[in-house]
Amino acid sequence: MRRASRPIHREISLAWFVLVFVALTLGLQMWPASAALLRFSRTVYEGGAWWQLLTSQWVHLSGLHAAVNAMALLLIASACSRLVRTHEQIVGLAGGCIGVALVLAFDPDCAYYAGASGALHGLLAGNAVHMLWGREKTDWPSEAQAASGRSSALARGLAFVILGGLVLKLWVQGSAKALAGESWLGLPVYHPAHEAGMAGGVILVLLVLALGVLFAPPRQKTG
All domains in the chain, ordered by first residue:
2-212 (1.20.1540.10)
The segments of the chain whose pLDDT lies below 70 read 1-7, 134-151, 176-185, 218-223
Cα–Cα distances in Å, from 214 out to 76, 180, 211? 29, 42, 5
Question: Using CB atoms within 10 A of its CB, is residue 56 exposed (0-12), middle (13-18) or buried (19+)?
Answer: buried
Residue 112 phi, psi dihedral angles, 5° rounding: -155, 160
Give the pLDDT of residue 220.
61
**Burial profile 138-166: b = 16 or more Cβ within 10 angstroms, e = fewer:** beeeeeebbeeeebbebbeebbeebbeeb
E strands present in 87-154: 112-113
Nearest to 57 by CA among 94, 17, 13: 94
CA distance 112 to 145: 48
Give the pLDDT of residue 86.
95
CA distance 199 to 99: 7
pTM (two decimals): 0.86
Position 17, amino acid: F
Give the pLDDT of residue 100.
98
CA distance 82 to 123: 15
Nearest to 122 by CA among 174, 65, 209, 199: 199
In degrees, to the nearest 5, what angle opens at C-alpha 188 toward C-alphas 183 and 191?
80
Q: At 112, is the secondary structure helix, strand, or coil?
A: strand
